[in-house]
Structures are given as C-alpha cells and as structure tokens.
Structure 1
Amino acid sequence: MKTMLTAIAVLLAAPFAAHAGADFVEGDKTFAGEAELGATLTTGNTDTSSIKGRLNLMQELGNWENQYLFEGLYKEDTGEVTAKRYYAGIQGDYKFDDKNYMFITGNYEVDPFTGYDFKSVVSAGYGHKFIDTGKVLLSAEIGPGYIYKSLDEEQTALRGYDSEDSVVGHGVMNFAYEISESSKFTQMFVADYGESLEGRSETAITANIVGALAMKFAVIVRYNSEPLDDKKSTDTETNMTLLYAF
C-alpha cells in the first residue's frame, strides 16, 4: 500500500514539477473541459432513481498535456442501492512532437459491488498518434504498470488476506471520428494484463443540441477475467446524458 501511495504522489507531481522551470508566456496556457450529467427518477408503484456525472478537464502546460477525469454513478431501487461507482484519474502526456509522446497515468476506483473496497492503477509508457487530421484521430499507448486492489471485509474473511497487487502491461486505444460539424463518434479501449486481464471499453456518440450543449449516448463495458466468487466477469452500463463543453 505504501508503494501505491508513493507512486500516486509522484504521478500527481510529475507534470507540474517537470514544467516548473520552463519559460512560457501566459498565452501558451490552455484549459478546457466537459461536464456531463444524466439522471432518472420514478415514483409510485416503483421507486427508482439514478444519477451519472462526469467531469473531464484538459490542460496544456508547455510540452505537457494533462487530463483530469472524475466519474460517479449511483442507482437506487425501492430504497436499495443497486449500483455505486466512483472513479478519479489523472494523466500527463509529454509531447516529443506532434505524433509521439510519453505518458504517466494513475486512477482510483471504488465499486463495492465487485468485492473490492477500491482499485488503483499507475503506469507509464509511450504513446503514438497514427492519425490526427482534426476530423479523425487514432492513437495508442503502451507501457508497464502496477495494480493494487483492496478486498472488502467479507472477501478478506473468506480469503485470509486483505489485498491483491501485481505488475501489469497497460495498453490504450483511442479512436474519434467527426461524423458532421455537430456530431462525433468515439471509441476507447483500456486493458491491464497481469495475473488477470482487466479491461474497459467505451463507445459513444455525441450530438450538439445548441451552442456548447450536447446529448451523449454511451455504452461502457468493464471486463475482469478472474472475478471474485459469484461476481460476473462483465459489467455493462448504458447512459444518455447531457454534456456541456467549456
């Protein structure tokens, strides 16, 4: 656990420490983001509620491009919580040129329905943009990483230990296509392979409504080749949300 905390601390500081001595003018700084929110509520014979929120922030600091991502999902059915997931991630990309970069990334995820209190991954490596025309983007990243998973009380009692960790191979693929001036298709794959294979896929279509406001439809699939006990290998999540870009 100390190793993980140290790694995350280094990760959070790296993009800023590396840039601290750089000379740049105020105009070189850019900052942008997207805020996303979706919710449902039913009352009467059935009482259900759900909320999905996402905040994606992008920042440029000289040769560094930094991303900060926060997600939350909560669902309740007749007073019983049926889904709860929180995610926070940060990534710093150091650009060598327009197509090649070095990345360092880390994330922290809480999902009590998997049998773990939390899961965290840190990794670093090389990234390359195969296509970047403004209308089409295809990029990939690969590098070594480290995953740490903390078991909940029930799983700890069953197994006799409270955590799992391993070195992993980390890979990412991103594809984006601008269908029209007002709509966009994106596809993302993330995989961490060590003692087991854990992956995430997000397929989304975004269509502008007016100005900076858009509607987003997304299907997210999470996969674990070795889930705990009676847990399932695959989780799917389908969302329709409003997205505001700034």
Structure 2
Amino acid sequence: MLRLLSATSLLTAFSANALIPPEYQEPASGFTAEVEAGLQLNTGNTESSSFNGRTKLVYDTKKAKQEAVVKAYFASDAEKTTAEKYDTQFQSNYKVESGYYFARGEGTWDEFGSYTRLYTGSVGYGFDVINRYATKLKLEFGPGYQYSLPQATDTDPAPEATKDIILRSAAKFEQRIHEYSSFTADLVSENGRENNAITLELGYKNILFQDLAFKVGMNLKYTDVVPEGSKQTDTMTTFNLLYTFQ
C-alpha cells in the first residue's frame, strides 16, 4: 500500500511538471501603486511642522492605461497653519499603434496659493519619442478647459473665477541611472487667452530595499497672471520615503 501511494505521488508531481514548464511565471496583473510621505518637525527656537504625501495608482493593459495621483501638503508654525494644498490627477489613455489618445482631469485646492481653486480638463494625443530600457521620453498635446479662482485680496475681496480654453503640452522624461536609481523630469505648459502657466516637476529616486526607496522631488510652477501681492513662481522641495506595491 505504501509503495502504491509513493508511486501515485510521483506520477502526480511528474504530470504537474509536464503541464507547467520550468520558465512559467504568473502573468502580471498590470496594477502598481506608489505611496510616499515625508514629515518634518522643528522644536526649540523655531516650532513648526510640515507633512507631504503622494499616492499613485496605475492600471496598465495592452489596450489602455489608467493613472490616478493624489498629493497633499500641510505646514504650520506655533501660531497658525502656513500651507495647505491638495492635488488630484486622473488620466485615461487608449492605446493605438502610433501612440495613445488621452482624457485628463486635474483639481487643485490651495488655501494659501495665488489661486485657491484650479480645475483643468483636457483631451489629446501622446506618443513615445524614446522608449528604451534606460531612457524614456513621451510628448502629449491637446486642447482643454480651465477654471481658476484667484485668492481674495484687500482690493478684491470677492474675486471672480476665470474660465479659459487652453492648449496643454507635456513632455515626460525618465532616465534610469543604474539598477537602483532613476531621474524623472515632467514639463507641462498650459497656454490660454487669459493666462499661461509652466510647471516643471523633477524627481530622483534611489532604491534602499526591494520595494522601499528614498526620493527627492522639486516642483516649480510659473504663472503669468497672478492676483495683486502674489508671486508668479511657486517652488516646493520634498524628501520622502516611497513604497511600491506590485
């Protein structure tokens, strides 16, 4: 009886190995997620705190790609809140042989910015200029619509929102420096009759462990027309830990 059971087990194992080749791997789900956060606390002569976080979700298949990003930034000192900003972005790409068509929506809530509310919707076409393992470059072009509400000032305590038709252009660059580090640069231009804006987002990522990385980021945005008393250029630098789910 024991010999019969052993022979049956060997036959079952052999059949399974025959059906599943050694090089077989489970198919990729197409879903990835990134979560990053940074916290800064100062005590003593200066008491302040700041927090920034970012979550990115991507679902990529042969025919389409869905990407959603949520960002948050908060800062305060001993007396009051000094910064509070939230960004949401969603883009859906439909792939074709020469590139992809996209639909994109963005929303910004910035209580201390030159514009407290900024909503943008756009559609267009994108394609790969360079698509190699170490170097990637994408370009996107398309029309859009933008709603922006300026910050209230002493001279204009109840400003009216601006509604504008824009042309959105974007260049997305990624360079893998070596196996454990990479550099990204995203340049976005939004040109309309009422206003123009250019945003440059830079990032350097260095992998510490398999799924954990250290990331340095910088975001620079120039807005041509801003309310009285506001600066045209906003800059934000972050130092975060990033975890990737696959």
For Structure 1 versus Structure 2, the TM-score category normalised by the shorter chain is 0.7 to 0.9
Deviations 1:81-138 (CA, angstroms, capped at 9, x unpaired)? 22111000100011102x5110110100011222433110000001010111121100
2:78 corresponds to: 78
**Equivalent residues of 2:62, 2:95 under 8 A apart:** no
Distance in 1 between residues matched to 2:69 and 2:158, nearest whole Å: 34
1:186 corresponds to: 184
Specify whether residues 116 and 193 from structure 1 end up closer, same or farther in structure 2 by C-alpha distance, changes over 3 A only.
same
Specify whether residues 101 and 210 from structure 1 end up closer, same or farther in structure 2 by C-alpha distance, changes over 3 A only.
same
Distance in 2 between residues matched to 1:162 and 1:226, nearest whole Å: 14
Specify whether residues 83 and 29 from structure 1 end up closer, same or farther in structure 2 by C-alpha distance, changes over 3 A only.
same
Distance in 2 between residues matched to 1:178 and 1:210, nearest whole Å: 17
Match of 2:164 among 166, 169, 179: 166
Q: For residue 29 of structure 1, report the CA deviation from its aligned partner.
A: 4.7
Deviations 1:41-79 (CA, angstroms, capped at 9, x unpaired)? 112221110001000110125511010000000011222
Q: Give the counterpart letter for 1:165 in structure 2.
A: K
TM-score for both structures, normalised by structure 2:
0.84
**Equivalent residues of 2:149, 2:159 under 8 A apart:** no
Structure 1 segment 7-26 matched on structure 2, within 5 A: none
**Equivalent residues of 2:122, 2:145 under 8 A apart:** yes
Distance in 2 between residues matched to 1:114 and 1:185, nearest whole Å: 28
2:43 corresponds to: 43
Specify whether residues 166 and 172 from structure 1 end up closer, same or farther in structure 2 by C-alpha distance, changes over 3 A only.
same
Distance in 2 between residues matched to 1:187 and 1:125, nearest whole Å: 20
2:201 corresponds to: 202
Q: Give the counterpart letter for 1:230 in structure 2.
A: G
Q: Give the counterpart letter for 2:141 in structure 1.
A: I
Q: For residue 219 of structure 1, report the CA deviation from its aligned partner.
A: 1.2
1:66 matched to 2:66? The reply is: yes
Q: Give the counterpart letter for 2:145 in structure 1.
A: Y
Structure 1 segment 45-194 matched on structure 2, within 5 A: 45-97=45-97, 99-152=98-151, 154-155=152-153, 158=156, 161-194=159-192
Residue 112 of structure 2 aligns to a residue whose secondary structure is helix
Q: Give the counterpart letter for 2:186 in structure 1.
A: M
1:18 corresponds to: none
Q: Give the counterpart letter for 1:85 in structure 2.
A: K
TM-score for both structures, normalised by structure 1:
0.84
Q: RMSD in angstroms over aligned alpha carbons? A: 1.9
Distance in 2 between residues matched to 1:28 and 1:40, nearest whole Å: 37
Length, aligned pairs only = 219
Deviations 1:19-46 (CA, angstroms, capped at 9, x unpaired)? xxxxxxxx67521011010010112221
**Equivalent residues of 1:29, 1:62 under 8 A apart:** no
2:34 corresponds to: 34
**Identical amino acids, percent of aligned pairs:** 28
**Equivalent residues of 1:33, 1:55 under 8 A apart:** yes
Structure having the larger proportion of residues in helix: 1
- Unpaired runs of 5+ residues, structure 2, are 1-26
Q: Give the counterpart letter for 2:80 in structure 1.
A: E
Deviations 1:156-191 (CA, angstroms, capped at 9, x unpaired)? 971765211100000110000100000001000111
**Equivalent residues of 1:203, 1:219 under 8 A apart:** yes
1:230 corresponds to: 229
